Structure 1
């Protein structure tokens, strides 16, 4: 298994509020996390780093090695980070209301456990096909699912960035958790909407399924988003399951 990730400020933002990292626990299992922060000056940056580093520190101290424990852990720890970010915003009025998306994958033998809140996405790519594994927690996605607007209308909707769920809110946050099997020579892509708003799924598939090294693929995805306008921060975390590890 190989993992590469890269984050870029894009062409129109003054700072990068995305953040990603990979952490390894005591059993040798990796947790990949990507967050897209939101809020005023510095606040989104603080929220995304708090979420990623907070989850990562607890993961590194854990001995989790199966899907069910990973699921329970993700729900509990994302809730902990939700409360920590909310309280940080209360203590610092200039950061009040800050929040972040999270998409995270615990990589466990021949499977992975995925948890997400918000509109950062996970895609599974194998055998020339790409499948979106996450469901955007956004206003426009709710309108699409209810049949009020089409996906084409959603792409240019003026409220396309309005989230229905994020990390950093008062009370409990609902976390979507799913388990997925892994196939040899498959890819898992975690990304912020700075990629998916700029680069089509067909273009993403062409790049990820190509022949160049994994770091070249992450760089090309970032470049494509910037060439298309780079209207937001762009973060790409790409995992290549070269072979399936048997438990």
Structure 2
């Protein structure tokens, strides 16, 4: 039977942030990544509280269904604990955290997920994303309003639609049960990795092999090499048939340090969990909407952005078309200041314009047909007239005709 043969957890503050708001757990059978949010004073607390509470679910289960239910219950309990903490510490109002959790039970895994941290599976040389981001831009992608490429650079790509925190007392948690087998490698990560490292690069790192800790370190390095604007947390889980290389639970990130204040008991009952208003604004760009009105406002803002982009494109096209038309008019006007001498129905003629054409449009017209027959000209003069003789002005063209007339062969 398949089992966890190796696992690792690595967390890094990144190159921009001043503190690590991520937390990660590599337990005996439970593996979790949490990405906190809510500013310097709240994100690290939120992820640490969530990991500490969810870690209690790292026990043996008789079935994957039991594990799935337990994971969902532990996330809901963590959500209630976060709300209780905010009630006790108003300065943490608005804090929250994403959670992606994976429990391994032989040939099956139970998954619980909320937010935009991710779970990937590497199997037979391919990497597949198992979880779906609970973000504003993901909704736009799912509805066909923007592409995956547009979502990657969308100004609202950090807006979360679902998280654990002090906003929703009954958060909607995605759960599932999937089959796993020997040779599978599972990856749990915060968006500090997935936001800057492509799935192709992640697959390339998996393809190199090595121990779980080595892989986790390489992935974190890839994020750092890409700038690492956010905290980076990676948990790698190997499925095999050998005894696990590591048996002690490993906690990384903010949850690895003790909290600076006492948290309330999770079983405490209060008549009112949330304060009537936010005492402090959320200082992060990574936050969840508070109401449907806010969501509607974001959707309308996205529509305005699309309309502005289309207006810019249309304006650019109109400007380019106008420039082409103006250039064409000026070029045509220039051609009408030029003349050349040629033949018309066997006689010498003066044409206004140039000898070229643009498709079906001739850039010249017959200006004057003389009474000088080509047959009366010397053979050399006949050839150059048939090949046309350019002139910079009408006067020059008339001088050319006069010279041809004077050199006619006497009849």
Give the TM-score normalised by structure 2.
Answer: 0.56
Residue by residue, what CA displacement relative to the aligned partner does 1:151-185 show, whole Å, maximum 9, x if unpaired?
A: 00000011111000000133200110111111221
Partner of residue 27, structure 1: none
2:155 to 158, 169, 173: 158
- Paired residues, what number? 238
CA contact (8 A) 2:6 2:211 kept: no
Partner of residue 171, structure 1: 169
Partner of residue 109, structure 1: 106
Partner of residue 45, structure 2: 46
Residue by residue, what CA displacement relative to the aligned partner does 1:223-244 show, whole Å, maximum 9, x if unpaired?
A: 0101011110000000111239
RMSD: 1.4
Partner of residue 146, structure 2: 149
CA contact (8 A) 1:36 1:48 kept: yes
Higher Cα radius of gyration? 2
Partner of residue 139, structure 1: 136
Partner of residue 64, structure 1: 61
User: 1:20, CA displacement in angstroms?
Assistant: 0.6
Q: Which runs of 5+ in 1 are unaligned?
A: 25-29
Give, in whole Å, the separation in 2 of the partners of 1:134 and 1:244: 28
The aligned runs of 1:206-225 (5 Å cut-off) are 206-225=204-223
Runs of 4+ in structure 1 displaced over 6 angstroms? none
SS of structure 2 residue aligned to 1:223 = helix
Partner of residue 16, structure 1: 20
Moved more, 15-24 or 105-114: 15-24
Give, in whole Å, the separation in 2 of the partners of 1:108 and 1:73: 13
SS of structure 1 residue aligned to 2:11 = strand
SS of structure 1 residue aligned to 2:149 = helix
Q: Note if 1:200 corresponds to 2:215.
A: no
CA contact (8 A) 2:78 2:164 kept: yes
Give, in whole Å, the separation in 1 of the partners of 2:197 and 2:60: 38
Q: Bigger relative contact order, structure 1 or 2, given CA contacts below 8 A and separation 6+?
A: 1
Moved more, 160-169 or 86-95: 86-95
Give, in whole Å, the separation in 1 of the partners of 2:47 and 2:95: 9
Partner of residue 4, structure 1: 8
Q: Which runs of 5+ in 2 are unaligned?
A: 244-411
CA contact (8 A) 1:103 1:115 kept: yes
Residue by residue, what CA displacement relative to the aligned partner does 1:97-152 show, whole Å, maximum 9, x if unpaired?
A: 10000000111011110110000000010111111110000000000000111100
Give, in whole Å, the separation in 2 of the partners of 1:158 and 1:173: 25
Give, in whole Å, the separation in 1 of the partners of 2:181 and 2:65: 20
Give, in whole Å, the separation in 1 of the partners of 2:168 and 2:187: 30
Give the TM-score normalised by structure 1.
Answer: 0.93
SS of structure 1 residue aligned to 2:82 = helix
CA contact (8 A) 1:89 1:96 kept: yes
User: 1:186, CA displacement in angstroms?
Assistant: 1.1
SS of structure 2 residue aligned to 1:212 = coil
